[in-house]
Amino acid sequence: MRVRLLLAPVLALSLVSAPVAGAHPHRSNVDLVNPLIGTTGADPAEYGGMIPSTAPPFAMTRWSPQTRVNYVSRLPYHHDDPAITGFIGTHQPAIWMGDYGYVSGMPGVGDVQVGRSMPFTHADEHASPSQYSVKMATGVGAELTGTSRVGVMRFTFPADASPNFVLTATRAGITGAVHVDPARREISGYNPDRQDSKLGPFQAAHFKGYFVASFDTPVTGFGTSTGTTLHDGERDRTDAALGAYVRFPSAARTVQVRIATSFISVDQARENLRREVPSGTSFDRVAARTKAAWSEKLDRVDIEGATPDQLATSTAGPATRAIHCGTPSAPKTRS
């Protein structure tokens, strides 16, 4: 069912809306969404508390570029930060609550480095509900999309750049586990962190966020890490400040990474991967499905009488013809 709204010209829109009837007859309302709205503000009281995440409506896990460490009252992306530090699968429902069971990864070139950051500019960044992309100063390009439980990342590397990928499982003080299987081109493990446990009496002592990261490119080297220390060739480790990494052939120009999540087990994460993004599924196909899921929701509403200014909300610089629509959170199912 579609709903048509007639608005007086003086009404400013802050909720989901559609363009003037007939103005863009073939464009989905999804194309008006700007996920960068609400990501800026130097004063915490002015900060919108949003992130440019990609996922279908009511997804279990959202995927976002990361420019800072997130915790209670702080999200993983801020528009004013100058560098990308990773790409995170987050369950943080709002800025005033903490994350839990998160996992993040970062591409690299040359020597493997834990804690690497890559400068970028917003001119080289594009965000939508179904897809995020950025070209970083190192020449590495990154694209994100996702299903409810699986994030898909596509990285492009400069020629002969010795590409690699570093996965961060846990932070300092949080003990998790990783396992590297080079034959299967996988990194799996768990992260038991639940940051907002301090906000209430329920400790959920046995909680874990499980993950399986699968690569479409052969692995030429691997290891684990604790802090910034690398344990080259190591397949298994249980520790705090924990990570794992893989190296790819120097000739690899494009690498696709699928990361599945679960609150049940590694096996369930692998099953979620098989169901939602089977091996061989292209990045573009996943992004198209996610956009279609948003269109099914947002294109139920038409608006007549809205001016371009009423459809525009700007966070920085010239007005952007966009509407504000962060990926909503919903009660998560155990899967």
Could you list the pLDDT tens digit for every one of the 335 residues in the chain? Answer: 555 544 443 323 333 333 333 344 447 888 888 899 889 887 766 678 899 999 999 999 999 999 999 999 899 999 999 999 999 999 999 888 899 999 999 999 999 999 999 999 999 999 999 999 999 999 999 999 999 999 999 999 999 899 999 999 999 999 999 999 999 999 999 999 999 877 777 778 899 999 999 999 999 999 999 999 999 999 999 999 999 999 999 999 999 999 999 999 999 999 999 999 999 999 999 999 999 999 999 888 776 667 655 654 432 233 333 334 444 444 344 56
Give the model's pLDDT for residue 316: 29
Buried b or exposed e, range 46-76, using 16+ CB within 10 angstroms: ebbebbbbbbbbebbbbbbbbbeebbeebbb
Please state the pTM of the whole predicted model: 0.86
Look at residue 323 in the predicted model and tell me its pLDDT.
39
pLDDT of residue 160: 85
∠ CA 205-208-213, rounded to 5°: 170
- Phi and psi (nearest 5°) for 74? -150, 125
SS3 string, 203-237, reads: CCCCCCEEEEEEECCCCCEEEEEECCEEEECCCEE
Ranges of beta strands (E only) in the chain are 3-6, 62-66, 83-84, 86-90, 103-109, 118-119, 125-127, 132-135, 141-146, 150-156, 163-168, 175-181, 186-191, 209-215, 221-226, 229-232, 236-240, 242-247, 254-262, 301-304
The reported pLDDT for the residue numbered 203 is 75
Write the CB contacts of 246 (distance below 8 Å, at least 6 apart in sequence): 164, 165, 180, 182, 185, 187, 215, 219, 221, 222
In this predicted structure, what is the pLDDT of residue 172? 97
User: What pLDDT score was predicted for residue 59?
Assistant: 97
Q: How far is CA 32 from CA 11, 35, 108, 239, 245, in A?
A: 18, 10, 33, 44, 38
Spatial separation of the C-alpha atoms in residues 215 and 260, rounded to whole Å: 12
CB atoms within 10 A of CB 242: 25
What is the pLDDT at residue 320?
Answer: 32
Number of C-alpha atoms within 13 angstroms, CB side, residue 78? 16
Distance CA 47, CA 78 (A): 9
